[in-house]
Amino acid sequence: MTVDYGAMIRLDKVDPGFAMPFTHRVIDGAVLIANDLGDHAFLTPEEFRRFVEGEVKPDEPLYAKLRDKRFIAREIDVAAEAVRFRRRKGFLAYGPTLHAMVLTERCNHGCQYCHSSVVGMGRTDTDMSIEVASKAVDMALSTTSPWLTIEFQGGEPTANWETLTHIVKYAQERNLVARKELSFALVTNFSLMTDERLDFLIENKVQICCSLDGPEDLHNKIRIYKGGNSWQLTTDWIRRVNQRYVDMGLDSGLYRVEALPTITRDSLTRWKDIVDTYVSVGSRAVFLRKLDPFGFAEATARKLGYTMEEFIEFYMTAVDYIIELNKQGVEVMERHAAIMLSKILRESDPNYLDLRTPGGAVIGQVAYHPDGRVFSSDEGRMVGAMQDDIFAVGHVDQSYQDILRGDTVRALVFASTNDSQPGCVSCTYKVWCGQQPEYNYKTQGSIFGRMADSNWCRKHKYIFDFLMKKLERADPVELEIFDRWTTNRRQDHFVQEVEQVAQPAA
């Protein structure tokens, strides 16, 4: 049956003083209402009509439901709601927390979807120098945030091992004064890993991340490596690193190599194989990442790409399978769903930079090019690698304050704020969603984008709808699974010890 919701509500009967400000969305015949603090509820069409017309009486169960979800104006404790809002937007009190340092553009893999526009291994002119690296560390430690992560990116960052080790030791030394909650992360393809290098990474508490696109045939078809079997190399090192953590007495459920796949056209029918591969190597999380429009991926989209509807069908099928595995006792999560569920179910925001408002560009993350240019994000740096410096916000020779106060930064903050977006300001998912100006620019030619035509918007609406339906219909076992997925445990082992005596930088 088709319901005309517009005909249900007579505007002359709406009671504007009864309800708190809210947005609404119809999902499978039910009406989802939400507010700017993340409270939400499902109503039947008749309950929704009575709600907006202010007909609900205090002795009704519906009144109690709406009151407990903070949708009735006269029941609101304004001071308490201000505290909740401040907590949810707490990330705005800090500067950039993620500092991606691109150590080189060189790489020995020929991944067909590579977002980084890499160069051959002989191009040492693309390596970050020790001098630039030191200045990048100084700028990173100038952040007003009390915590930060320095992430080593490439190319293949271990190809510039000398600069990587310098940054670790120099940052440790400088942090004795800065006293930040400092951590390091390495994104690697493992092709240049050795026992000695792993020892250094383990001893200096560098978290290790990699790409794993699924089973051997799928991974090797896309992540082309002429030096050997990329899948075998990757999975062997994942197991070795994970075993090192176990041998150190660390919780294997919390400390492990973080891996993620990039979904290509060949992946769409392989959802089970991809998830099973992650389980087989000991991964507790898989992040089903759609192709991005950066780097080589733009040129290979016709061969590797797919429609948004095809991706969403793949995604929902894979997440359903992951939930079933959890019901069988296999603890594995889909990372993107876990982030979105955290935003919906928890009082505080997990600060995932792609899904917050204002977004993460510059005020949440920055990227440092090997030549010293500073970009709004790793995606901004990828646009720069395509000969367009629109997202360059400065240089490591400048001061941190000069960069953060620049006009480009102001424009990016405005463009990444949902309340400034005509397509977002009235969206039911506004409070949990976010903008990426770099994606908008690359796909639509404007940092503001047009949400009515945006695949970014369509993807997130599809997934939010999917998860909301899951929550509405979840049984106790599924709710326990979602609670586990959204329970955030700190990885304190990866935080540098400020009191330790750092060795002099090389």
Report pLDDT for 298.
64
Q: Which residue has the tokens 């009509």?
A: 49
The strand pair at 373-375 and 365-368 is best described as: antiparallel
pLDDT band at 4; cut points 50, 70, 90: low
Q: What percent of the chain has pLDDT over 70?
A: 95
Cα–chain center distance at 75 = 35
Report pLDDT for 505.
46
pLDDT band at 118; cut points 50, 70, 90: confident
Residue among 191, 279, 269 at smallest CA distance from 229? 191
**What DSSP designation does 155 have?**
S
Residue 154, pLDDT > 60, answer yes
Q: Are 270 and 419 in contact (CB under 8 A)?
A: no
Report pLDDT for 185.
98
Q: State the average pLDDT over residues 307-317.
A: 97
The strand pair at 110-111 and 147-153 is best described as: unpaired
Please give the Cα distance from 494 to 492 (Å, whole number). Answer: 5
Residue 499, pLDDT > 80, answer no
Which phi and psi (to 5°) does residue 299 adopt? -75, -30
pLDDT band at 189; cut points 50, 70, 90: very high
pLDDT band at 504; cut points 50, 70, 90: very low
Q: What is the DSSP string of 258-313?
A: EEE-EE-GGGTT-HHHHHHHHHHTT-SEE--EEPPSSTHHHHTHHHH---HHHHHH
Task: Render pLDDT for 409-460 as a digit per residue (tens, 0 to 9).
Answer: 999 999 999 998 888 999 999 999 998 999 999 999 999 999 999 999 999 9
Q: State the average pLDDT over residues 66-94.
A: 94
Q: Which residues contact 214 (CB under 8 A, 6 or more apart)?
A: 261, 267, 270, 273, 274, 277
Report pLDDT for 113.
85
Q: Which residues contact 11 (CB under 8 A, 6 or more apart)?
A: none
Report pLDDT for 367.
98
Is the omega angle on the peptide bond into residue 155 within 30 degrees of 0, that is, cis?
A: yes
Beta-carbon-side half-sphere exposure of residue 140 (alpha carbons within 13 Å): 35
Q: Which residue has the tokens 């308490």?
A: 80
- Give the number of other Cβ atoms within 10 Å of residue 80's Cβ: 10
Highest CATH level, class, for 90-383: alpha beta
Pick from 7-21, 69-83, 351-365, 383-397: least confident: 7-21
For the record, the structure tokens of 310 come out as 């095809």
Residue 503, pLDDT > 80, answer no
Report pLDDT for 186.
98
Please give the Cα distance from 417 to 280 (Å, whole number). Answer: 40
Q: State the average pLDDT over residues 82-101.
A: 93
Report pLDDT for 3.
53
What SS3 class is residue 150? strand
Q: What is the tally of helices (H) and strands (E) in the chain?
A: 20, 17
Q: Which residue has the tokens 């955030």?
A: 488
Residue 326, pLDDT > 90, answer yes
Q: Which residue has the tokens 């000969």?
A: 387
For the record, the structure tokens of 240 come out as 């070795």
Which phi and psi (to 5°) does residue 327 adopt? -65, -25
For the record, the structure tokens of 37 come out as 């603090």
pTM recorded for the entire structure = 0.93
Q: Are 333 and 485 in contact (CB under 8 A)?
A: yes
Domain boundaries, the chain: 5-88, 90-383
